[in-house]
Structure 1
Amino acid sequence: MELNAMDYFGDELNEPVSPTGQCLDNTSLCLYILAFLEFQVPIHNLPIVSLVEDAFLSIPHFTSIMVDDERGVKRWKRVEVKLEEHITEPKFTDNGIPVDSYDKHFADYISKMAMENLPQTKPLWQVHVIKYATSNAAGTLVFKFHHAIGDGYNLMGVILSSLQRADHPSLPLSFPSLKSSKPKNISRFILEKMPQFLSMPFTFVSDFGWTLLKSTLVEDDKTPIKSGVEAVEFRPFKLSNVTFSMDHIKEIKSNLGVTINDAITGIIFYGIRLYMQNIDYKSRALNSTALVIANTRHIKDYQRVQDMLKTTKGSWGNHITYYHVSVPKLQDIPISNPVQFINKAHTSIKRQKNSFAPPLITKLLRMKNKLEGPEALAKHIHGTMRKSSLLISNVAGPIEQMAWANHPIGGFFFTLSGIPQSLVITVMSYMGMLRVTTATEEGFIDEQKLMRYLNSAFEIIRHESIAKENTP
Structure 2
Amino acid sequence: MHMEEEGRMKNEEEEPVSPMARLFQSPDTGICNIINIGFNSKMNPDVVLHALRHNVHKHPRFCSKLSENGAKWIETEVNVEDHVIVPSIDPEEICDGGQSFVDDYISRLTMIPLDRSRPLWDIHILNVKTLDAKAVGIIRFNHALGDGMSFFSLVLACTHKTSNPDMLPTVIPSVKRRSTVSHRLEKNDWFLWAIFTIGSTLRLIWNTVVDMFLLFATMFFLKDTETPLKGGANVRSNPKRCYHRNISLDDIKLIKNAMNMTINDVLLGITQAALSSYMNRQYEQQDKNNEEDGALLTSYPNSLPDGIRFRAGCTVNLRPDIGFKPLAEMMVKDSKCRWGNYFSLIVLPLSIRLENDPLVHLKKTKAMLARKKHSYHAALAYYFIKICLKVFGAKVVSSLYNLHAMNTTACVSNVMGPTEEISFHGHPITYISPISYGHQYALFIIYTSYAGEMTITITVDPTIIPDPHTICDDMEESLKTMKAALWERGLL
TM-score normalised over the length of structure 2: 0.86
Matched with 1:462 is 483
Measure, in 1, the Cα distance between the counterparts of 2:186 and 2:245. Answer: 39
Query: For 1:199-210, what aligned pairs fall within 5 Å after superposition?
Result: 199-210=203-214
Q: Is the 8 A contact 1:277 1:284 kept in 2?
A: no
Does the alignment pair 1:257 with 2:260? yes
Label 1:11 to 1:261 Cα distance change in 2 as closer, same or farther (>3 A): closer
Matched with 2:300 is none
Measure, in 1, the Cα distance between the counterparts of 2:186 and 2:459. Answer: 43
Q: Post-superposition shift, 1:319?
A: 0.2
Measure, in 2, the Cα distance between the counterparts of 1:73 and 1:444. Answer: 32
Q: Which amino acid aligns with 2:86?
A: E
Q: Is the 8 A contact 1:40 1:410 kept in 2?
A: yes
Matched with 2:332 is 310
Does the alignment pair 1:241 with 2:244? yes
Does the alignment pair 1:62 with 2:82? no
**Runs (5+) with no aligned partner, structure 2:** 1-5, 188-192, 284-302
Label 1:73 to 1:50 Cα distance change in 2 as closer, same or farther (>3 A): closer
Matched with 1:357 is 377
Measure, in 1, the Cα distance between the counterparts of 2:347 and 2:8. Answer: 47
Q: Post-superposition shift, 1:129?
A: 0.4
Measure, in 2, the Cα distance between the counterparts of 1:10 and 1:302. Answer: 31
Q: Is the 8 A contact 1:255 1:468 kept in 2?
A: no
Residues 70-106 of structure 1: CA distance to partner in whole angstroms, max 9, x if unpaired? xx672211111111110011233227954x4322221
SS in 2 for 1:249: helix
Does the alignment pair 1:215 with 2:219? yes
Q: Post-superposition shift, 1:173?
A: 1.5
Query: For 1:136-175, what aligned pairs fall within 5 Å after superposition?
Result: 136-175=132-171
Label 1:292 to 1:59 Cα distance change in 2 as closer, same or farther (>3 A): same
Does the alignment pair 1:12 with 2:25? no
Matched with 2:363 is 343
Matched with 2:290 is none
Q: Which deviates the most, 171-180 or 119-128?
A: 171-180
Matched with 1:86 is 83
Q: Which amino acid aligns with 2:443?
A: L
Residues 314-354 of structure 1: CA distance to partner in whole angstroms, max 9, x if unpaired? 51221010101111031xxx521221111111111111111
Measure, in 2, the Cα distance between the counterparts of 1:140 and 1:385. Answer: 31
Q: Which deviates the most, 153-162 or 428-437?
A: 153-162
Q: Which deviates the most, 292-301 or 234-243?
A: 234-243
How many residues were matched structurally? Answer: 456
Q: Is the 8 A contact 2:317 2:344 kept in 1?
A: yes
Q: Which amino acid aligns with 2:346?
A: Y
Q: Post-superposition shift, 1:194?
A: 6.8
Label 1:53 to 1:305 Cα distance change in 2 as closer, same or farther (>3 A): farther
Q: Which amino acid aligns with 2:315?
A: I
**Runs (5+) with no aligned partner, structure 1:** 1-7
Q: Is the 8 A contact 1:263 1:342 kept in 2?
A: yes
Measure, in 2, the Cα distance between the counterparts of 1:409 and 1:73. Answer: 35
SS in 2 for 1:28: coil
Q: Is the 8 A contact 1:55 1:162 kept in 2?
A: no
Matched with 2:351 is 328
SS in 2 for 1:272: helix
Does the alignment pair 1:449 with 2:447? no
TM-score normalised over the length of structure 1: 0.90
